[in-house]
Amino acid sequence: MYVCLCKGITEEDIRTQLRLHGKAITKSKDLCSKIGVGSDCGVCIKMAEQILSEIGGALKQESKDPN
């Protein structure tokens, strides 16, 4: 699904960047500087932050899991 129509950025693009850069992306402005989400009209920021929150939580869980 497209998150940012201005830049043609999909949900999968965001998830991929979060997997690759994990700890380096903690805020929507980090996503903006990495892939440009939210840099034009800004309508996509809310959805990008939601994805960031989801993946961020998953990454934190993985780092706590001893297995």
Q: Mean pLDDT, to the nearest integer, of 14-22? A: 86
The vertex-25 CA angle with 32 and 57, nearest 5°, equals: 125
User: Which tokens hold the place of 37?
Assistant: 């989400």
Q: What is the pLDDT of residue 65?
A: 52
Identify the top-confidence range among 2-6, 55-59, 63-67: 2-6
Q: How far apart are CA 19 and CA 55, in angstroms?
A: 8
User: Which tokens hold the place of 5?
Assistant: 């129509």
Write down the CATH superfamily of domain 2-64: BFD-like [2Fe-2S]-binding domain (1.10.10.1100)
* Domain spans, the chain: 2-64
Report the percent of the chain where pLDDT is more than 90: 43
Task: Please check whether residue 14 is in contact with residue 7, taking contact to mean a CB–CB distance below 8 angstroms.
Answer: no
pTM of the model: 0.75
